[in-house]
Amino acid sequence: MGKEFKNGLKDGIPIALGYFAVSFSLGITIVAAGISPIQGMVMSLTNLTSAGEFAGIRVIAAAGTIVEMILTQVIINLRYSLMSLSMSQKLDEKVKFWHKLIIAFGNTDEIFAVAMNHQRSLTLPYMVGLQLLPIIGWTSGTLLGAVASNLMPERVSAAMSVMLYGMFIAIVVPVAKKSKAVLIVAAIAVFCSCLFRYVPLLNEISDGVSIIICTIAAAAAGAIIFPRDIPDETEKTEKIDI
């Protein structure tokens, strides 16, 4: 169990470093919206979603209503439900229901990508180790970014705002080089995303909804093009008997 936790910590180091850098820009945005550094730190500790937090800060800055905040977060973060459903298929049989709640709390895009690329079934110690450092990095980065908001040059802040996307690309590309299925599914997702970015009418759809549609479309295409054979119970029994 200790080895699984250490492996998770090791795999989470690159994510933690990326989150620490990216959350600096979040901290700066938080202060600009009139939110205190401590409030921003608590926000990051309890909401592990970069897009959701940035959108939530914009709602707060615009003096939006609670209803607007709820709808914004549901739309933007609904993709985590899809990722959690997919990850649940890879969890170890010993993972209990309340363990799944803990794992679901820290299931971000990057953590999901690394976990799904893990060669073994996902255990609670591994997932806790994988999520621990990224949570610390995201929370501490937000606090330090908020405190240092008046000291950091604007160009540095702008550069950090795109590091999250670069980190995610660095996670996906190595896997796509080894797997034709991952490469094609990623290409389909990029194509769908471009449609929602540049095609009239489609580009009027919110980012959260477009992300969900692109995710479902790419996943469905991958399931159709690269189906996986699932052995029935008889085959499983025969394998066990042998």
* One domain for residues 206 and 143: no
Angle at 95 between CA 90 and CA 97, to 5 degrees: 110
125 shares a domain with 43: yes
Residues with Cβ within 8 Å of residue 215, at least 6 apart in sequence = 79, 82, 189
Would the pLDDT of 242 be above 50?
A: no
Is the distance from CB of 65 to CB of 202 less than 8 angstroms? no
Does residue 172 sit within a domain? no
Residue-number span of the structural domain to which 196 is assigned: 179-227
One domain, residues 151 and 187: no
In this structure, the answer to whether residues 99 and 16 fall within a common structural domain is yes
Looking at the structure, tell me whether residues 141 and 204 fall in a common domain: no
- Give tens-digit pLDDT for 100-143: 888 989 888 889 989 988 888 899 999 999 999 999 999 999 99
Q: Is residue 223 part of a domain?
A: yes
* Distance (Å, whole) CA 158 – CA 148: 15
Q: Which pTM value belongs to this model? A: 0.68
Does residue 237 belong to any structural domain of this protein?
no
The percentage of the chain sitting over the pLDDT mark of 70, rounded to a whole number, equals 86
pLDDT in tens, 57-114: 878 887 878 887 887 788 778 888 888 888 888 898 888 899 888 898 988 888 998 9
With respect to residue 240, please indicate whether it lies within any of the assigned structural domains. Answer: no
Count of beta carbons in the 10 Å neighbourhood of residue 147: 15
Domain annotation covers residue 199: yes
Number of domains in the chain: 2
CA dihedral in degrees (60, 77, 110, 84; nearest 10)?
Answer: 150
pLDDT tens digits, 172-230:
787 788 888 889 988 998 999 899 889 998 888 876 677 778 878 888 898 898 886 65
Specify whether 24 is located in the same domain as 144.
Answer: yes
